[in-house]
Structure 1
Amino acid sequence: MENNQAALQNKSDIESYTQWAMVAFLVYLLICAVGMIGGGFKLAAGGQAKELFAFASNPFAGLVVGIVATALIQSSSTVTSIIVGLVAGGLPVELAVPMVMGANVGTSITNTIVSLGHVRAKEEFKRAFSAATVHDFFNLLSVAIFLPLEIAFGILEKLGGWMSGLFYGSGDASIKSFNFIKAATAPVVNTFKGMTSSLGDQIGGITLIILGIVLIFISITIVGKLLKKLMVGRAKDIMHTAIGRGPLSGIASGTLVTILVQSSSTTTSLMVPLAGSGAFRLKDIYPFTLGANIGTCVTAVLAATAATGNAEAALQIAFIHLVYNIIGVIVIYGLPMLRDIPVRAAEALGATAAENKFAALAYILAVFFFVPALCLGVSSLI
């Protein structure tokens, strides 16, 4: 009996080690894919990167690109990794900033949809829908505050530039001197470049971009599944341990869980059923969702360290996403006058949706479709 248990344990350990090795390999492929996108975009665009994104030459259009792309792909990590690759290939940073803001909004749709699974039980649906949409309202409020400031003063762009400058500064301490990640991914990136070089710069570059995007999709999808299998049980344990023990504990645990599962959508969706069951209050869950915003930035920062082309700008936009989410938490949650706005809005919407189920559908359509369309209409007038 004991021998059988030992054999099963050994088999389980081997499977676990194999899955972790696969995760490491897929993260490596993800970083390679970002390098491929940057290299391909640089080849295809040449010096005309800005002109290729003329449709997103104003902040509102860029915001829409981030919202819609993330809502469709259901992964802000994927979208921000693609944006990092495009910036490395020549997409101007100022055009990319609203896109990463939009990615924050777009990723909120997942847990909102998850909450619809509680629609048959009125009180349960009220709690679940409120817990899901508090993340939405926080991200929308963050955009409403920081996008105008960014347009007027370029604060995030300057902070991101300063942070990337610390890594790409002069001297022996520069990241250029010890960027082993870039060196490790160069063989794969160069192999794909060689495969597409015979197609010419434009077609070859576009092909390289497509291959990179496909590789990102595959890598993040499989990594997400593996990490859910490996970590979700532990993630739930962290949630139960940390939620309700204060805002700092909630934010820290939300960040940690999101880093572990590499998906803010997964993190925030984990707590929707718990909120619906009444296990946690909305005010307890709120800080946890803020931590998810911070944790989701890790993928893009990691990928940016191996970007080819304008690598400093790629790291800059990754840091901008991180700084944007951290400052958003500090300002909105730190100021009493702003802190409760997402909670009150979510509670009011949850109550309305519980009484009229069509209100939930109207909300989803408005935030993720009608508002982006309105932004495009406004952008056409600018």
Structure 2
Amino acid sequence: MEFQEPPVEDNEVVLEVVPLAIIPQGQSKVKLTKKDPWSLTDYKDKSTPWNELTNTGKVKRVLLWLLKPVAVAVLLYVFICSLSIMGDAFKLLGGKTAGKALSENELLNNPVCGLMVGILVTVLVQSSSTSTSVVVTMVAAGLLNVQPAIYIVMGANIGTSVTNTIVSMAQSKERDEFRRAFGGATVHDMFNWLAVIIFLPLEALTHFLYYFSDWIVGSFNIQINENAEVELLKVLTKPLTKKIIQINKHVISDLAQGNEDAASESMIKSMCDKKEMLAPTMVTSLQNVTVLAEDDTLDTIMKNITNAVNVTVEGDGVRCAHLFAGTGLSDSSVGAILLVVSLLLLCACLISLVKVLQSMMMGKMAEMIRKNINADFPKPFSFLTGYVAIVVGAGMTFLVQSSSVFTSTITPLVGMGLISLDRMYPLTLGSNIGTTATGILAALSSGSDKFESALQIAICHLLFNICGILVWYPVPFMRRTPIKLAKGLGNTTAKYRWFAIFYLLLMFFVLPGIVFGLSFAGVWYLAGFGIPFVIIVFAVTLINILQTKKPSVLPKILQNWDFLPKCMRSLKPIDDVITKLLSVFRRCCPFVFKPKNPTPSIRPVRPVDSGNTTVVAMTGTQEVHV
């Protein structure tokens, strides 16, 4: 009888069976090896063969083939729209706070504080394009110098990756998918942090980005173009998003420029389509008038004369037609509603998108896609593959006008195992370059006497990303560093799923908030906290490297961390506490929390027939003697 392989469950560990030797006494030895969770997923086609289908079944399959691409396009469109709505929600909730933070010019002169302000502002408005455009506007208005603005755009680079980190959590149900998706999202973070670690102190000491960008602006005769605005993807998404919410983005810029009156203005747009019109107005001006003097002679004197003239004014326009126009709700209330709705919509679209893609990526199609996306060029040009991926990432980001949208779209594909982490890395590097186009366009359309300074800060953003790529990509072992760090975070998250939320809050809210708060207290408070923290992090990192590479150079006590309490060297004690807290909710809401099965299920795999001996291997064992 033919052996039938049972279906693989989500919590199973599938192991390969490799026969090593046949022992004469009838014993056989097999070795079970666990599959690498970071490897690309092989989606086997389990559907009924075409020649075995009935006519009705063939019609249904053809219809599904036609409808699935349409479903993917619709889900992707709604997914991108939900990202836009989520960004508007964050602007309503934290946009004014972000604008006020950018108005603190004295604090922004501190490089570390400027970096953290850039992170916080970008997280609050959910868009590095918005935050860098506001910074460019402030520089163009003469409210912010170029040098402190450089540190803010460095922070904006880090803050923009919060969106795809949030998106990766939608795949938390399946452990290995979550591992890959979180690693694909955080490889962007790791590169940005590593680039900042090198170039923030270098820029603070030498100002090389400032001088290099100043030379570029001075060497090329770049002209102002007030129409330098490109909208590609927004042309498709605006018709839907404008029906839901419209935002007064100028409120953030006004607050950043020190206009206190903007604090009382609502960010929800109420009047739209305001047009300039001519209106008759009485204007009084001082003019030379010839009059008849007492001696009957003509004399010229200055006199106020009032005349009716046509003046160009802005009309009231018409009431906006979006969902929240005229509702009377506050900005925070509308922001909270939109945030909840957009997150639910985003998760629903992402889960549905993954399911549809998984049903499409079977057999030959999945194999073709995996090979084309992850394959290298033939030798001797294989080394160029990553650089082409960088160009593709930059081009795609320029088309969608948002690095968050691009990276958030491909993050689920990494979780599904269709795109490898090694290929995701250069694509995100390209997205960092592509997103700088928004700042350059904002500078070109600034139309002020500070045009050169505005363009200089936009070019600084581009140069910072290019310099980061030159350090962390061309050399193989440097290239592997962000990938290894991202894999470490992915493995930790797969083991302790709450770690994803902890990481998100710590890196994008708590740490920047603490540093920003200490900056208010004074530079000595910031130094008293920051210097010991940096020394401890550096020492722990160095010891970890030596423990792995050359433990003999360390004292015996430092060759491992066993001398520390378990809570300082492992997340297990914290996980135990969180598990106990969740167990209370599991008892209260058993339909929400499924029971956890910590051990992999055991199932037979295909037997290995070796002569007179048939070996049936079971999962959960490293070696089996039969």
What TM-score, normalized by structure 1, do the two folds share?
Answer: 0.69
1:175 aligns with 2:314: no
Secondary structure of 1:357's partner? coil
Gap regions ≥5 residues in structure 1: 1-40, 42-49, 168-173, 185-202, 223-238
Judge conservation of contact 1:259–1:295 (CA < 8 Å) in 2. yes
- Match for residue 362 of structure 1 among 479, 484, 502: 502
Show the counterpart of 2:285: none
Show the counterpart of 1:336: 476
* Number of residue-to-residue matches in the alignment: 287
Show the counterpart of 1:319: 459
Judge conservation of contact 2:373–2:419 (CA < 8 Å) in 1. no
RMSD (CA atoms): 3.0
| Alpha-carbon distance between aligned partners in 1 of 2:228 and 2:433, rounded to the nearest angstrom | 28
- Match for residue 512 of structure 2 among 348, 369, 372: 372
Distance 1:330 1:378, change over 3 A: farther
Judge conservation of contact 1:243–1:249 (CA < 8 Å) in 2. no
Percent pairwise identity: 43
- Match for residue 54 of structure 1 among 83, 89, 106: 106
Show the counterpart of 2:161: 108
Show the counterpart of 1:117: 170
1:282 aligns with 2:282: no
Deviation readout 1:39-89 (Å, 9 max, x if unpaired): xx9xxxxxxxx9951122201111111101111111101110110000111
Distance 1:319 1:206, change over 3 A: farther
Show the counterpart of 1:381: 523
- Match for residue 489 of structure 2 among 349, 366, 370: 349
1:161 aligns with 2:303: no
1:166 positional shift = 2.2
| Alpha-carbon distance between aligned partners in 2 of 1:291 and 1:156, rounded to the nearest angstrom | 20
Secondary structure of 2:419's partner? coil
Deviation readout 1:342-374 (Å, 9 max, x if unpaired): 100110110110111111111111110222134
Distance 1:99 1:180, change over 3 A: closer
1:85 aligns with 2:227: no
Secondary structure of 2:492's partner? helix
Show the counterpart of 2:441: 302
Deviation readout 1:86-135 (Å, 9 max, x if unpaired): 01111111110110000000001000000000001001100111001000
| Alpha-carbon distance between aligned partners in 2 of 1:285 and 1:113, rounded to the nearest angstrom | 17
Secondary structure of 2:473's partner? helix
Secondary structure of 1:279's partner? coil
| Alpha-carbon distance between aligned partners in 2 of 1:85 and 1:214, rounded to the nearest angstrom | 21
Deviation readout 1:215-251 (Å, 9 max, x if unpaired): 9xx9xxx9xxxxxxxxxxxxxxxx9865544201210
- Of Structure 1 and Structure 2, the greater strand share is in 2
Distance 1:276 1:59, change over 3 A: same
- Match for residue 137 of structure 1 among 167, 190, 211: 190
Secondary structure of 2:498's partner? helix
What TM-score, normalized by structure 2, do the two folds share?
Answer: 0.43
Distance 1:335 1:214, change over 3 A: farther
| Alpha-carbon distance between aligned partners in 2 of 1:363 and 1:204, rounded to the nearest angstrom | 34
- Structure with the larger RCO, 1 or 2 (CA within 8 Å, 6+ apart): 1
Secondary structure of 1:299's partner? helix
Judge conservation of contact 2:103–2:258 (CA < 8 Å) in 1. no
Distance 1:265 1:244, change over 3 A: farther
| Alpha-carbon distance between aligned partners in 2 of 1:115 and 1:375, rounded to the nearest angstrom | 27
The residue identity in structure 2 corresponding to 1:109 is V
Distance 1:83 1:360, change over 3 A: same
The residue identity in structure 2 corresponding to 1:175 is I
Secondary structure of 2:168's partner? helix
Rg larger in structure: 2
Deviation readout 1:150-178 (Å, 9 max, x if unpaired): 001001111111111123xxxxxx335xx
1:151-300 matches, within 5 Å, as 151-167=204-220, 174-176=221-223, 179-181=224-226, 244-245=375-376, 246-300=385-439
Distance 1:52 1:345, change over 3 A: closer
| Alpha-carbon distance between aligned partners in 1 of 2:225 and 2:428, rounded to the nearest angstrom | 33
The residue identity in structure 2 corresponding to 1:381 is V
Greater CA drift, 155-164 or 254-263: 155-164
Gap regions ≥5 residues in structure 2: 1-98, 230-256, 273-321, 323-368, 377-384, 525-626
The residue identity in structure 2 corresponding to 1:81 is S
Judge conservation of contact 1:258–1:296 (CA < 8 Å) in 2. yes
| Alpha-carbon distance between aligned partners in 1 of 2:464 and 2:455, rounded to the nearest angstrom | 14
1:338 positional shift = 2.1
Secondary structure of 2:511's partner? helix
